[in-house]
Amino acid sequence: MKIPKRKVFLLIIFAYVVFSLYAAYNVFFSTKVISRVHRVVKKETVSGGVKDGGGAPFLARDWNPWEDEQVDYNSALTKKREAFKQHLARIDKNKATRYRVQIWGKAAIGIYLWEHILEGPLNPTDKVAQWREGELQSGKIDFSFYTGPAVVQGHVPLDMNSLVLVLNGREPQKVSYSTRWLEHVQALVKSHTVSHVAVVLLGNEHCHNDFIGPYLKRNGGFVDLLFVVYDSPWVNDKDVFQWPLGVATYRQFPMIRPNAQLISSNRPYLCNFLGTVYKNSSRETLMQVLKKSGLEEECITNAREKWLPQETADSLRQYQTALVQSELTLCPVGINSECYRIYEACSYGSVPVVEDVLTPGSCAAGSSSPLRLLKAAGAPFIFISDWKELAAILEREREMSQEQRVDRRRRLLEWYAGFRQQMKERFTEVLEENFFKNV
């Protein structure tokens, strides 16, 4: 039986459509549904190997199971950057006197600078994100900020010629890392990509910061300004300024916003001390005084023999609870008199009782040291030279009325907010005067 040519043609068309749909189906499910599995197999083929000689193949290090989401997130960040650039362009068009400064946060104190001092936003809000960034305006300056492990040399956006680099110089390993960043920025200065550089440095607790000396402009280097933590003898308020240590952002201590409950609550404990008690230190004296005076029940204490670098969710919650439930926070010296505990106590309105003694090292001596930055700002702390004075201090605490305690708490929180604002204005003004005075 002979089939008409018309029917043959229609059958061919039908077969082609069915084959096309089948192929599209396979492509869709192979690329969309199991695309990540294909990437795993591809990476394994390159790297080779099966874990423990059998079973499921291990994943190569360069495989990223969140690649699609990361691309979307990076796209969103790019849009934000473009919006910020357009904002700056509008400012230029209107001939407003605005300046641009970029901050690279390569030490945890960068978060204190950005969130607590400058009060800038950070995206994403996840504190352990690999890449975080934000923008803000302060004074005549438009700041942009980048931080996180993914902020690496040569891969961070740079569309401004004024740069602030936040570094850690506390110990040899940190110094080595910071030196590599300084050398990277030095290359940018030599290539005329960057014109002005400031460094915010978490200095050595003995004030041994010689590694950064050759990079200072006063010594023939390229760093115009240095903001350094601790009472460094280099501080002259011309090109070297003292900077506050702040709270331990590396241990996820948050930014606390005061509220009525924080100010007016009835706190059940006179004092607190949660921390490491080192052998033959004044901290041993502190614990002996508390025990001998029978004050252990009136104060929250949790002493440990070994320092713990990381904070767990439970230990952070316990520490914050102690701060919010205590009238006073005991702040014995460690390697340096200035410690995170001072600023963390201020965040919760718990008055710091500070051991006012110089520690060994090269930090400046004199009538205003130690803690000269805080003293110059009129910090409403209780300063003592010997923990044997503590019993008398706590006796006076018992005699205070709730009204007096609330008033003191309010004044402490107001002082701390004012101190951060003062540091913000100072930081901004110093950059304006030194970076843009000839603009």
Q: What is the pLDDT of residues 120-171, one digit of tens each?
A: 999 999 988 999 999 999 999 999 999 999 999 999 989 889 999 999 999 9
Report how far residue 369's alpha carbon sits from residue 232's, in angstroms, rounded to the nearest whole number: 10
What is the number of other CB atoms lying within 10 angstroms of the CB of residue 260?
7
Report how far residue 221's alpha carbon sits from residue 35's, in angstroms, rounded to the nearest whole number: 51
Please give the backbone phi and psi of residue 151, each rounded to the nearest 5 degrees, phi first. -80, 95
More confident call, 49 vs 208: 208
% of residues, the chain, pLDDT over 70: 76
Query: Under DSSP, is residue 50 helix (H, G, I), strand (E, B) or coil?
Result: coil
Angstrom CA distances, 297 to 292, 293, 322, stand at 12, 10, 13
Contact 327, 271 (CB under 8 A): yes
Report how far residue 222's alpha carbon sits from residue 225's, in angstroms, rounded to the nearest whole number: 9
Looking at residue 251, what DSSP letter applies?
Answer: G
CA 333 to chain centre: 23
What is the number of other CB atoms lying within 10 angstroms of the CB of residue 196?
20
Instruction: Find tokens 């192929």 and name the residue.
Output: 23
Query: Under DSSP, is residue 212 helix (H, G, I), strand (E, B) or coil?
Result: helix
pLDDT at 51: 34
pLDDT digits (tens, 9 = 90+) for 379-402: 999 999 999 999 999 999 999 999
Domains and CATH numbers, the chain: 78-243 (3.40.50), 252-418 (3.40.50.2000)
E-strand stretches of 246-392: 269-276, 299-304, 326-331, 351-355, 382-384
Residue 246: which residues within 8 A CB-CB, separation 6 or more?
A: 109, 112, 113, 116, 117, 340, 343
Q: Is the pLDDT of residue 275 over 80?
A: yes
What is the average pLDDT across 83-100?
Answer: 64
Report how far residue 290's alpha carbon sits from residue 219's, in angstroms, rounded to the nearest whole number: 50
Q: Is the pLDDT of residue 91 over 90?
A: no
pTM, two decimals, is: 0.78
